[in-house]
Amino acid sequence: MLTQAFYTGLTGIRSSGTAIDAISDNIANVNTVGYRGYDVEFASLYEEVLVTSGNINQTQNSVGIGSRVQVTSMIAGNGSLMGTDNNTDIAINGDGWFGVKGNGNTLYTRAGDFTFDINSDLVTRDGLHVLGTMGKNIENGILTSQIDTIDLGNVATQESLNFPKSLSYPAEPTKNVQFFGNIGFGEEEIIMNSGIVDAQNNRNKLELRFNIAEVQTPPGTQWNVTATTKSLDDLTVYDNQAGVLSFDETGALISSTLTTIDNNGSMVNINLGEGFSGIVSIDSTNLTASNSSDGNIGGDLVGYEINKNAEVIATFTNGKQSSVGKIAVYHFQNSEGLDRIDSSKFARSSNSGDPIFYQDSNGKNILGTDVQNFQLENSNIKMEVSLTELIVYQRSYEANSKLLTTADEMMQKALSMDA
């Protein structure tokens, strides 16, 4: 019995000590972003069966002799979300892991407190590169296409998200201008203007001047129109074009010979409508004018940020935005089987299985979870629970220590009786 007491006390101290270390680590990281706590499960080394016959449950009729740590398991459940004012902070509100890479090894984390380093690469706070899919719409520091959303590539093709420090949104010269309005039925000249953009990234002006024709052919009316493209300060004229508008007796536009005009090297299509859909000539004191045009002035990069779809968004001085990359969210068949590397990073193991991407009904890779921007996931440790467990394990440690002391005293008495 004394041998059992020594053995039980020694293994109990070791098991309780391991549990105290795990709980202490949890408490120390209660405010660590993306921390996943660990719990300790125990098993008896040996059991002595007291009753072997009848229908009595064996677990109620046995005495354990010694204990061991059976497994240290990851605590399931997500941590609470906390708001931030950082446009590169994101949190996973559900299942999934971000992928990060350093020294050739891919690790997985729930900590989304990312930032852009001096090279505009998306990295963790300790410098590991965040993995995802690049938009492939940047070439030589110029945005080649505007993208709303980027599809995730395959797991094996995910790469570090690297972005240029200097990025330009190219000018999109105006190709089409449409005019609307009522030019009336009087003798005075009507002027309409529209802003346009040329290929050299200049804001220019398209001016239309309407004058009723001196010679009229009933039953409708005819108007002369002169179009001019010029700089905003009116100092430089790029082109002049003239045309004739024909309206029927109701004022609806029948035809126009004014079609295109040069805008400093870029041709612009002039659309005056048809019928009552554009320019009309109605005898009324209510003269109106409006227009719509395409084209955009170029812009320089303001900065990068991350949206709620885990897209890296580039914002430009002309107000335009485009996705340039997408952060990957990985999933595992058994996330609790990941190997812990440090407080918030984990590595694949044979127990966790290989990382995968979820797919929609069309077979397209998707995030498969809810991602929140301007949020971070806190530790999933509950302080009150951990403190209670720490007290329990400390009492267990003290009890096993007392067991060793008592067994030693009994041994000493037994030896003195023999003497």
Please state the three-class secondary structure of 125-174 as a single string: CCCCEEEEEECCCEECCEECCCCCCCCCCCHHHCEECECCCCCEECCECC
Distance CA 143, CA 168 (A): 6
Distance CA 128, CA 160 (A): 9
- Cα 6 to chain centroid, rounded: 57
pLDDT, mean of residues 359-369: 94
Helical spans, DSSP H, in 152-247:
none
For the chain, the structural domain boundaries read 2-77+379-418, 81-169+300-377, 176-293
- Nearest Cα neighbor of 389 from 27, 34, 71, 72 is 27
Q: Are strands 81-83 and 90-93 parallel, antiparallel or unpaired?
A: unpaired
Helical spans, DSSP H, in 222-316:
none
- Nearest Cα neighbor of 186 from 272, 282, 250 is 282
pLDDT, mean of residues 246-265: 96
- Cα 45 to chain centroid, rounded: 49
- Cα 309 to chain centroid, rounded: 4
Judge whether residue 52 has pLDDT over 70.
no
- Nearest Cα neighbor of 130 from 372, 327, 354 is 327
CB of 251 closer than 8 Å to CB of 281: yes
Judge whether residue 406 has pLDDT over 70.
yes
CB of 303 closer than 8 Å to CB of 315: yes
- Dihedral of alpha carbons 116, 120, 122, 123, sign: negative
- Dihedral of alpha carbons 351, 357, 362, 368, sign: positive
Judge whether residue 57 has pLDDT over 60.
no
Q: Residue 168: which pLDDT band, with cuts at 50, 70 and 90?
A: very high
Judge whether residue 55 has pLDDT over 80.
no
pLDDT-above-90 percentage for the chain = 67
What is the average pLDDT score of the chain? Answer: 88
AA letter at 212:
I
Q: What is the pLDDT of residues 188-211, one digit of tens each?
A: 899 999 999 999 999 999 999 999
- Cα 120 to chain centroid, rounded: 16
pTM of the model: 0.77
Q: What is the pLDDT of residues 293-318, one digit of tens each?
A: 999 999 999 999 999 999 999 999 99
